[in-house]
């Protein structure tokens, strides 16, 4: 069983960057930069064009990032 998130985080398969930003108290742009840098692991492609794809954060990636963030505090 993988570690869980706090109860205030809804359990979903994928999350938009804006949702994660609100949950973690970060800016959407900061979450997007972290997504691009691989901080959330493998992302789920959720549409967009070939030139401008749209990605969402997988639950497991959010869990891993949250626990890494918690350990750094």
Q: Is 8 left (phi over 0), alpha (psi -120 to 50) or beta?
A: alpha
Domains and CATH numbers, the chain: 14-72 (1.10.1660)
When the pLDDT of each residue in the chain is averaged and rounded to a whole number, the result is: 90
Q: What is the rounded average pLDDT of the residues 32-47?
A: 96
Residue length, the chain?
73
3-state SS class at 28: helix
What dihedral do alpha carbons 2, 10, 65, 57 form, nearest 10°? 110
Contact 27, 21 (CB under 8 A): yes
Would you state the pLDDT for residue 73? Answer: 62
Question: pLDDT class for 2, splitting at 50, 70, 90?
Answer: low
């Amino acid at each position: 069983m993988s570690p869980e998130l706090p109860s205030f985080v809804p359990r979903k398969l994928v999350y938009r960057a804006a949702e994660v930003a609100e949950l973690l108290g970060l800016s959407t742009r900061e979450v997007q930069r972290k997504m691009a840098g691989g901080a959330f692991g493998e992302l789920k492609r959720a549409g967009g064009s070939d030139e401008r794809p749209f990605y969402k954060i997988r639950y497991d990636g959010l869990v891993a990032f949250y626990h890494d963030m918690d350990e750094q505090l």
